[in-house]
Homo-oligomer: A and B are copies of this chain.
Amino acid sequence: MSYLTDAPIDQQRLTEAVMRPSDGALALFAGVVRDHHQGRAVESIFYECWRPMAEKEMAKIDAEVAAAYPDVAIAFVHRLGLLQVGEASIVIACSSPHRDEAFTACREIIERVKLTVPIWKREKGPDGEEWVGWQGK
């Protein structure tokens, strides 16, 4: 299964993908396009990705977090392309018999995705488009 998608992410389907009869807890995180960033208005965000390496990095995060929290079932997907305000760019679902590992694993996955997965966003606002972060200038 791919960690990347060009279509809206179905939160319910991701939840169902992880829940097992032995699970008492689900921790879910969604990253969503918001209408502002560092004081600038945002209308939409384009997510660009280096797909093969992104898939590889996400599989690595999946495997390493699963190894650290063996009771946790994990599913996560990042969306690519043009997203409007209110649309989810990433959804992470972690289920576990007990809530502590589910929360911790979920949090760890989003932190790691933001650190290493080669995905970049270009924000569009009333003043035009701009790559977020380092801009080489």
Please give the residue numbers on chain A whose beta carbons come within 8 Å of chain B beta carbons, in ascending order: 11-12, 15, 19, 21-36, 85-86, 88, 95, 97, 99, 103, 107, 110
The reply to whether A35 and B11 contact each other, CB–CB distance below 8 Å, is: no
The reply to whether B36 and A32 contact each other, CB–CB distance below 8 Å, is: no
* Besides A21-B85, A28-B28, A29-B99, 6 other A-B contacts (C-beta < 8 A): A19-B86, A24-B32, A25-B29, A25-B32, A27-B29, A34-B97
A113 to B11, CA, bound (A): 24
Oligomeric state, in number of copies? 2
The reply to whether A34 and B22 contact each other, CB–CB distance below 8 Å, is: yes
Residues of the B chain whose Cβ atoms lie less than 8 Å from the Cβ of A22:
34-36
The reply to whether B107 and A103 contact each other, CB–CB distance below 8 Å, is: yes
The reply to whether A21 and B86 contact each other, CB–CB distance below 8 Å, is: yes
